Structure 1
Amino acid sequence: MSRKKEYSNPLVEQRADPWVYKHTDGYYYFTASVPEYDRIEVRRAATIEGLRDAEPVVAWRKYETGPLSANIWAPEIHYIHGKWYIYFAAARTTETKEGLFDHRMYALENESANPLEGRWVEKGQVKTAWESFALDATAFQHKGVLYYVWAQKDPDIPGNSNLYISEMENPWTLTGPQTMIARPEHPWEVIGFSVNEGAAVLKRNGKIFMSFSASATDHHYCMGLLTADEDSDLLDAASWSKHPEPVFQTCEENGQFGPGHNSFTVNENGEDVLIYHARNYKEITGDPLYDPNRHTRAQVLHWNEDGTPNFGLPVKDSRR
């Protein structure tokens, strides 16, 4: 049996909410939240390890005022219908407060073959059923249908954010019903904040696995897992089951705290790879959101005999 690949971690320092996408051109494309929350960067490399030293290119910068002027969070880059798209969340500033937590979701489009080139065009806000706090959008295609999954505050439900799914008419417009498929319900999902957010999709073994993150962004941050059968109606909440325990969480022994907001990719050996952020210390001064040291990390995702993913433990730092 071949040895599983190991990565030198942290992979990219001070990059939270990491997203790695392997394209058909063989390159790995990377984007994430930057500590300043003021711009969206994209970089690429021929290997996952190569992303560490790849030169980032600024795809978009925030505005000085208005709805796209603060807290640019959790960009993801996708290739859909022959074009590149970036989904991200943005908030606004006011005369009395810099950076309100009133995020909405937006889309950018780039027609270039290489998304580090060309022009990113704003496609506007991705509108949902309510005008309320919304963020952490992802998209995936299944059986010819494009789906959008995101986190949002339902004004009628206590808590901070639930997970929703909808079909898409095009990569920036939802269509049809919007279904809540998860809400914070277990003790590990409601520490500090009642949060389900940061979904990422992995299709394997006849199932659709959807990881997500829960609780506050300190050492309580952790990951849960939803599962649906690949032949089920993904817009039916009953098709999705939530694992009752977190599948990835703080490991004090390995010095890893608050792992979460992940993405999935495949390495050069064909192994599934978990990309996520975590801190290497527990005590944080001030608001965890403004502590810059959530670093991007990578490790091979293992599989159980029953075909379900085994996330294991967040591995120790190997770089100093």
Structure 2
Amino acid sequence: MKGSQLLSLICLLLVSSVGSAMKADTTGIFTNPLLGSGPDPWVIRHKGMYYYMHTTGHHLVIRKTGKMSDLSRAKEVVIWTPPAKGPDARDIWAPELHRLNNKWYLYYSAGSSDSIHPQHTFVLENSAADPATGTWTSRGQIRDTAADFFAIDGTVFRYQGKNYFIWSGHNGKDVVQRLYIARMKSPWELVSPRVEIAAPQYPWEHNGINEGPEMLRNAKGDVFLVFSASGCWTDNYALGIMRLRHGTDPLQAGSWVKSPEPVLTSKPENGAYAPGHNGFFKSPDGKEDWIIYHANSKAAQGCGPQRNPRMQRIGWNTDGSPVLGEPVKINTPVKKPSGE
């Protein structure tokens, strides 16, 4: 072998070695945001797979992945397109997947026109094992027939063997968004009257909005409700939290205790404005708890598609309450969920 060939081979080996080292250094990390756009993110894990959804405004899509840090590589599948006309034809928001009675149910907010005033919550049903496949059948609007007002961001909460529906809505007298709960008869029917469990009361909840309720349990089974407050059109959008008093009836307003301080707020230096509308999930090995939420990367971007999904690990205080911390800085390395 000639000297020049030997030198070329040595250089090639060195480059290959450095490249491998660099690859090894980056293995086990990811960066936020997970996608360029993704308002109102939702994640559920079933049989080793994560199913992710977010608001598109005009249809319902699912991404399926075994690793949430690889979400951007997951194929986006359109699973439902609204009818041309009808009560759920426009403004398709805040989809959530839930597995109930061995079937999939998808809850989403929609309206009949571009005005948000007729916005309500609707339910789709799918008997397929994989929600990215099969046929989705409409079960219509889920509502309290005695108080059929503006109602969005519905979620299902199972407690002591019963299913409850929690959502954000109006009281029929003003446009303040409050949080309501009712017991469910079926995945698309309520059996009890709605009960108001939260309304804006603190300075950080200004703009008259409590919305995006999501449930979280600690290792002991204590129940927390994390919600979005203020308006998504402002940089003051933030996450608040309530705790269900142990052993109490969730249909009693006094059973829920709201923290006077928010638990996740804007962090401009980290490229995180107006964090909100979150979800929670476990790492693949079940050892870690993670939050997924949306935020804007720049100030004054409002409620548009610039909102992008981010995820980060959460911790726990000694009293059992969650520690969400502060929004992690975008485009910086974050350790992947354990088990990936």
- Which TM-score applies when normalising by structure 2? 0.85
Q: C-alpha offsets along residues 224-277 of structure 1, whole Å, 9 cap, x if unaligned?
A: 001013421111111100000111110112120000000000012420000000
Q: Which has the larger share of strand?
A: 1
What is the aligned-residue identity percentage? 37
Name the aligned partner's letter for residue 222 of structure 2. Answer: K
Name the aligned partner's letter for residue 30 of structure 1. Answer: Y
The answer for the alignment partner of 2:78 in structure 1 is 58
Q: CA deviation at 1:203?
A: 1.5
Q: Which moved more, 1:119-128 or 1:46-55?
A: 46-55
Name the aligned partner's letter for residue 51 of structure 1. Answer: L
The answer for the alignment partner of 1:182 in structure 2 is 198
Residue of 243, 256, 261 corresponding to 1:245? 261
Name the aligned partner's letter for residue 165 of structure 1. Answer: I
Residue of 104, 114, 128 corresponding to 1:84? 104
Distance 2:125 2:91 in 1: 20
Residue of 191, 209, 228 corresponding to 2:244? 228
Q: CA deviation at 1:133?
A: 1.0
Q: Where has structure 1 moved over 3 Å in runs of 4 or more?
A: 98-101
Q: C-alpha offsets along residues 283-314 of structure 1, whole Å, 9 cap, x if unaligned?
A: 33xxx33x211001100011112211011000
Q: CA deviation at 1:206?
A: 4.0
Which of structures 1 and 2 has the bigger CA Rg?
2
* 8 Å contact kept, 1:134–1:153: yes
Distance 2:29 2:314 in 1: 11
The answer for the alignment partner of 2:311 in structure 1 is 298
Q: Closer, same or farther in 2 for the Cα pair 1:235/1:251, shift >3 Å?
A: same
Q: CA deviation at 1:178?
A: 1.7
Q: C-alpha offsets along residues 71-114 of structure 1, whole Å, 9 cap, x if unaligned?
A: 10000011111000100000112xxxx44432011000000001
* 8 Å contact kept, 1:138–1:148: yes
* 8 Å contact kept, 1:70–1:100: no
Q: C-alpha offsets along residues 117-170 of structure 1, whole Å, 9 cap, x if unaligned?
A: 1100000000223221110000021221011100110013x4431001111001
Distance 2:320 2:332 in 1: 32
Q: What is the DSSP-based 3-state SS (H/G/I as helix, E as strand, rest coil) of the residue aligned with 2:71?
A: helix
Residue of 22, 28, 34 corresponding to 2:45? 22
Residue of 123, 133, 137 corresponding to 1:107? 123
Q: CA deviation at 1:41?
A: 0.5
Distance 1:254 1:137 in 2: 30
Q: CA deviation at 1:30?
A: 0.6
Matched, 1:199 2:213: yes
* 8 Å contact kept, 1:90–1:104: yes
Distance 1:132 1:196 in 2: 15
Residue of 275, 283, 291 corresponding to 1:267? 283
CA RMSD of aligned residues (A): 1.6
Distance 1:7 1:143 in 2: 37
Q: CA deviation at 1:56?
A: 1.4
* 8 Å contact kept, 1:160–1:195: yes
Q: Closer, same or farther in 2 for the Cα pair 1:6/1:207, shift >3 Å?
A: farther
The answer for the alignment partner of 2:228 in structure 1 is 213
Q: CA deviation at 1:6?
A: 6.0
Q: Closer, same or farther in 2 for the Cα pair 1:100/1:244, shift >3 Å?
A: closer
Name the aligned partner's letter for residue 63 of structure 2. Answer: R
Distance 2:226 2:116 in 1: 27
Q: CA deviation at 1:220?
A: 1.1
The answer for the alignment partner of 1:165 in structure 2 is 181
* 8 Å contact kept, 1:76–1:86: yes
Q: Closer, same or farther in 2 for the Cα pair 1:272/1:154, shift >3 Å?
A: same
* 8 Å contact kept, 1:6–1:300: no
Name the aligned partner's letter for residue 224 of structure 2. Answer: F
Q: Which moved more, 1:181-190 or 1:199-208?
A: 199-208
Name the aligned partner's letter for residue 134 of structure 1. Answer: A
- Which TM-score applies when normalising by structure 1? 0.91
Name the aligned partner's letter for residue 201 of structure 1. Answer: M
Distance 2:83 2:125 in 1: 18
Distance 2:300 2:63 in 1: 31
Name the aligned partner's letter for residue 32 of structure 1. Answer: H
Matched, 1:309 2:326: no
After superposition, residues 16-165 of structure 1 pair within 5 angstroms as 16-23=39-46, 25-34=47-56, 37-93=57-113, 98-128=114-144, 129-156=146-173, 158-165=174-181
Q: CA deviation at 1:207?
A: 1.6
Distance 1:313 1:7 in 2: 17
Distance 2:260 2:127 in 1: 42
Gaps of 5+ in 2: 1-27, 334-340
Q: C-alpha offsets along residues 41-88 of structure 1, whole Å, 9 cap, x if unaligned?
A: 012111111222111111111222221121100000111110001000
